[in-house]
A = this chain, B = another copy of it.
């Protein structure tokens, strides 16, 4: 029965499918941090839709609001006509998120995916500055449409474009070359020297923690320095907070603790709250020089997502939510540190911050083996990095201590089982 279903996938779906290969079952139900497949097997979810399910699955309050909305024949699809659901979202987003953080941003609704908000951000930066180039950073990941792919580092993804990707200069992310090399001195030389071959760019785009690129963390002082350089040269700073935002690192925006003020912010994934497609592009009001309809998209008014998004913001009304994330983050760090210490065979390094942590291992294929062993034991966990060299823990922010610990247990057992088998840890 399960196999019949998987066979339908195999026969009809393109070979481009990927996660079904790592998690070869058919899921039917999910609640909080748990998922169940059609045979009733339970899984702990340390993946969370790659960061799209920060509030867990089927949050009861959002669910209630959504069902009520549908039952009342609320508008589902509205493009950018005004709907009550949208007005309510905008209002609450302003009251709960923007105002308390002293952020004065205009909100744009691009197509409801991460790559659409990135494309809109790049277009706006180019329009505002009249410049064509954008500086991106090594191992950045911003999406799969041509504009976003141009600023993405991964070479096999880039090759998929089928055309040379242009109008971008890649600079080294924090710690890219080595811990000692101040790569920003380098970047600055390129900008200030009129013979450098690097034209003044419209913008810099970066993630404060690189999720797909290998859970690389930019230090706060590095981010501050980036902001300074942007200000000095009149370059717009775009923070792509699609994966690291909406609480994933402990604060609503990932850049809050660095004390920087980006010009443009990209949000998607968990912004809808419930896992439904939604994306926002935020920018300083003085940048809002769009003509009506100059960038659009059919699904930019996904009202089901407005309804659950509005409800999800309630989490942020209570400071205790942020505190709980930080407390549990420490627990994760502690656990990962202990793993690295206890299992030197991993040659592991703990990376990340908040609910966006993992272990990088130079042992070829090891991270994938750990993830596969964990799946067999009922834990869903992903790898990351251009060589899949990191296994990463992405639990829902609402996970309780028991859930965390059960997950930890499975991970440790998985590691043990692999390490026993010496062949598996030999490169």
A168 to B167, CA, bound (A): 10
Q: Which of A226-234, A298-306, A325-333, A354-362 contacts B (4 or more CB under 8 A)?
A: A298-306
Closest to A382 in B: B79
A14-B108, A30-B75 given; A81·B20 CB < 8 A: yes
**Which chain B positions have C-beta within 8 A of A177?**
185-186, 189
Copies of this protein in the assembly total 4
B87 & A26 in contact (Cβ 8 Å cutoff): yes
Q: Is A290 an interface residue (CB 8 A)?
A: yes
**Which of A18, A77, A157, A299 has its CB near the most chain B CB atoms (within 10 A)?**
A299
Q: Which of A251-259, A271-279, A310-318, A419-427 contacts B (4 or more CB under 8 A)?
A: A271-279
Closest partner residue, chain B, to A152 (CB atom): B197
A189-B176, A202-B162 are known contacts. Are A386 and B195 too (CB-CB below 8 A)? Answer: yes
A74 touches B28 (CB 8 A): yes
Question: A5–B109 Cα gap in the complex (Å)?
Answer: 17
Nearest-CB distance from A16 to chain B (Å)?
4
Partner of A214, one of B106, B195, B274: B195
Instruction: Give the contact stretch, choosing among A116-124, A337-345, A364-372.
Output: A116-124
| 15 A-B contact pairs sorted by A residue (CB < 8 Å) | A6-B82, A12-B91, A15-B290, A16-B296, A18-B293, A20-B82, A30-B76, A76-B275, A77-B274, A110-B144, A113-B116, A126-B162, A181-B185, A183-B186, A276-B276
**CA–CA, A112 to B168, complex, Å?**
26
Report the interface size class on chain A: 35 or more
Residues of B within 8 A of A77 (CB): 49, 52-53, 274-276
List 10 additional contacts besides A14-B281, A146-B150, A163-B167; criterion CB under 8 Å: A16-B296, A25-B82, A28-B75, A58-B70, A76-B276, A112-B112, A114-B297, A120-B144, A145-B147, A160-B295
Residues 133-172 of A contacting B (Cβ, < 8 Å): 133, 136-140, 143-148, 150-164, 166-170, 172
* Docked CA distance A126–B146 (Å): 13
How far, in Å, is A425 (CB) from chain B's closest CB?
22
A106–B76 touching, CB < 8 Å: no
Q: Check A294 against B197 for contact (C-beta < 8 Å).
A: no
Q: Which of B5, B27, B83, B202 contacts A78 (CB 8 A)?
A: B27
Cα A26 to Cα B290 with chains together (Å): 22
Question: Is A102 in the interface zone, CB < 8 Å from B?
Answer: no
Is B52 in contact with A294, judged by CB distance below 8 angstroms? no
Q: Contact partner of A27 among B57, B81, B153, B385, CB < 8 A?
A: B81
- For A294, what are the chain B residues with a Cβ–Cβ distance below 8 Å? 16, 156-157, 160
Q: What separation, in Å, do the CA atoms of A133 and B164 have in the docked complex?
A: 8
A111 to B106, CA, bound (A): 25
Residue of B nearest to A51 (CB): B298
Out of B21, B74, B170, name the residue touching A292 (CB < 8 Å). B21
By a CB distance below 8 angstroms, the chain B residues around A21 are 292
Closest to A74 in B: B29
Give the distance in Å from the alpha carbon of A204 to the alpha carbon of B109 in the complex.
Answer: 30
Q: Chain B's nearest CB lies how many Å from the CB of A131?
A: 8
Q: Are A126 and B84 neighbours in the complex by a CB distance under 8 Å? A: no
Partner of A123, one of B17, B50, B161: B161
Q: Beyond A75-B28, A164-B132, is A292–B202 a contact (Cβ under 8 Å)? A: no
Bound form: Cα–Cα A115–B114 in Å: 13
